[in-house]
């Protein structure tokens, strides 16, 4: 082992535990990447002076040159070699299909300063090695992510297809939260059910999920590749249209309703078409609608959000109107006879009642009828006529 540099632990902080654990981290990397020797990009730490100092060692033989002492052209070549070595390391990590390993390696390649990059020059060529890897500078204003900037880490756009989780059909206008590199971005899928997340570093570990009541739902994970395609599954949500009519099938605008669902309560007023809407409601959500009358719930309706329901109907019953039945009426039947109780056919019967005058004629049996007379009505009757003699055959 060849010493590269010794450094006191001043104004730096180890990002992977304590400085004493850096040796264990190196052994872990060495065991993981022993076959391809990718671990040699990292110098091996040797703790000295009771943990106040670290000497960094390398397996490479040759002359140690700090990158700052190289010409600009040589620095550019060294940075390119470093970039190739890091990509080789990350590609080897992908073979393990362990998403946490990639994140761990990005923490390892964090360095406090550019002078933590060293070239080991030999007759066989140059090798680039990092000292103080995994350490962060505690100096105010110090740069972070320095190595990313030095090696020009590749950043690409990630194209996500957004589909419903029930049948995997496209899901336009779905809101998805993406979490990567310590930040969060919320995007809405376009009409083609696509979301593009820009400037994501290759090999970055990305989380995608929906949020409901400030709680992440169904977290899905991805690793960013240069030409990758990705699919995010979201819960199907639909818009609900409510139409309010009365029992006479008349629309009711300007009606205030209270709506309860998912432990929250909102208010909506019907538009000129007697409608109000709830946007992006999860399928099978239970919805309660009602109005208030002196703080009492009235016109209560319960619904369940369905996939293909075009309209949810609310019917408000009109007050029952009590209709007085028309007064009962009866017929009055009159029989006209003479002073000998003989029937008088074709007699004229004049009837007066309620300011009306009706003239009737008796039939061959002496009868006539006054129709539809309210019981208790006073009726004045005058009959005129005389008995007709029977003709002899």
**Pair (55, 191) in one structural domain:** no
The span from the CA of 273 to the CA of 255, in Å, is 11
Of the candidates 222, 216, 214, 263, the one whose C-alpha atom is nearest the C-alpha of residue 235 is: 216
Residue 166 lies in a domain: yes
**Pair (85, 29) in one structural domain:** yes
Of the candidates 48, 53, 50, 43, the one whose C-alpha atom is nearest the C-alpha of residue 1 is: 43
Contact 194, 157 (CB under 8 A): no
**Pair (130, 45) in one structural domain:** yes
Of the candidates 226, 227, 179, 203, the one whose C-alpha atom is nearest the C-alpha of residue 94 is: 203
Contact 234, 186 (CB under 8 A): no
Cα dihedral sign, 137-142-143-144: positive
Is 256's pLDDT higher than 60?
A: yes
Domain boundary residue, one of 286, 316, 346: 316
Least confident of 88-102, 138-152, 233-247, 253-267: 138-152
User: Per residue in 178-235, pLDDT tens?
Assistant: 998 778 999 999 999 999 999 888 778 899 999 988 889 999 999 888 788 899 999 9
The Cα-based distances of 195 to 203, 220, 382 in angstroms read 19, 15, 99
Residue burial 308-328, b: 16+ Cβ < 10 Å; e: rest? eeeebebeeeeeeeeeeeeee
The span from the CA of 96 to the CA of 94, in Å, is 5
**Pair (136, 164) in one structural domain:** no
The span from the CA of 207 to the CA of 205, in Å, is 7
**Which residues have a Cβ under 8 Å from the Cβ of 239 and sit 6 or more positions away?**
277, 278, 279, 280, 281
**CB-CB neighbours of 390 under 10 Å:** 6
The span from the CA of 240 to the CA of 382, in Å, is 75
**Pair (256, 377) in one structural domain:** no
Residue with tokens 């109005």: 291
Of the candidates 281, 282, 288, 293, the one whose C-alpha atom is nearest the C-alpha of residue 259 is: 288
> Which uninterrupted H or E stretch holds 371?
strand 367-373
State how many domains the chain has.
4
Is 152's pLDDT higher than 70?
A: no
The span from the CA of 347 to the CA of 350, in Å, is 10
Residue 321 lies in a domain: no
**251-279: average pLDDT:** 94
**Pair (252, 215) in one structural domain:** no
**Pair (228, 257) in one structural domain:** no
User: Per residue in 23-50, pLDDT tens?
Assistant: 999 999 999 999 999 999 999 999 998 8
Residues spanned by the domain of 166 = 155-234
Is 376's pLDDT higher than 80?
A: yes
The Cα-based distances of 16 to 76, 106, 152 in angstroms read 29, 11, 24
- pTM for the complete prediction? 0.49
The span from the CA of 194 to the CA of 203, in Å, is 21
């Amino acid at each position: 082992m060849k010493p590269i540099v010794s450094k006191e632990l001043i104004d730096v902080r180890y990002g992977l535990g304590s400085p004493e654990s850096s040796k264990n981290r190196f052994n872990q990397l060495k065991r993981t990447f022993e076959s391809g020797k990718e671990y040699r990009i990292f110098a091996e730490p040797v703790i000295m002076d009771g943990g106040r100092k670290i000497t960094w060692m390398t397996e490479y033989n040759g002359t140690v040159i700090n990158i700052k002492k190289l010409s600009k052209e040589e620095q550019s070549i060294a940075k390119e070699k470093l970039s190739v070595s890091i990509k080789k390391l990350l590609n080897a990590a992908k073979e393990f299909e362990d998403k946490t390993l990639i994140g761990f390696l990005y923490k390892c390649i964090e360095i406090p300063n550019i002078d933590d990059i060293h070239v080991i020059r030999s007759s066989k060529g140059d090798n680039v090695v990092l000292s103080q890897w995994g350490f962060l500078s505690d100096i105010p204003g110090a740069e972070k992510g320095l190595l990313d900037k030095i090696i020009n880490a590749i950043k690409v756009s990630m194209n996500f297809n957004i589909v419903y989780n029930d049948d995997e059909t496209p899901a336009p206008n779905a809101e998805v939260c993406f979490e990567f590199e310590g930040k969060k971005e919320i995007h809405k899928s376009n009409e083609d059910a696509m979301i593009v997340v820009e400037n994501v570093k290759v090999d970055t570990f990305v989380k995608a999920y929906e949020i409901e009541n400030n709680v992440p739902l169904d977290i899905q994970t991805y690793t960013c590749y240069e030409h990758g395609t990705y699919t995010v599954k979201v819960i199907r949500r639909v818009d609900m249209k409510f139409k309010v009519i009365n029992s006479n099938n008349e629309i009711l605008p300007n009606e205030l309703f209270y709506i309860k669902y998912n432990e929250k309560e909102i208010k909506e007023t019907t538009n000129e078409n007697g409608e109000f809407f709830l946007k992006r409601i999860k399928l099978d959500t239970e919805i309660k609608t009602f109005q208030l009358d002196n703080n009492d719930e009235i016109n209560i309706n319960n619904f369940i959000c369905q996939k293909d329901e075009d309209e949810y109907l609310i019917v408000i019953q009109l007050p029952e109107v009590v209709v007085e039945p028309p007064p009962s009426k009866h017929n009055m039947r009159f029989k006209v006879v003479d002073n000998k109780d003989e029937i008088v056919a074709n007699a004229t019967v004049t009837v007066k009642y309620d300011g009306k005058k009706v003239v009737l004629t008796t039939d061959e049996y002496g009868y006539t009828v006054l129709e539809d007379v309210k019981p208790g009505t006073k009726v004045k009757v005058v009959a005129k006529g005389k008995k007709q003699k029977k003709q002899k055959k």
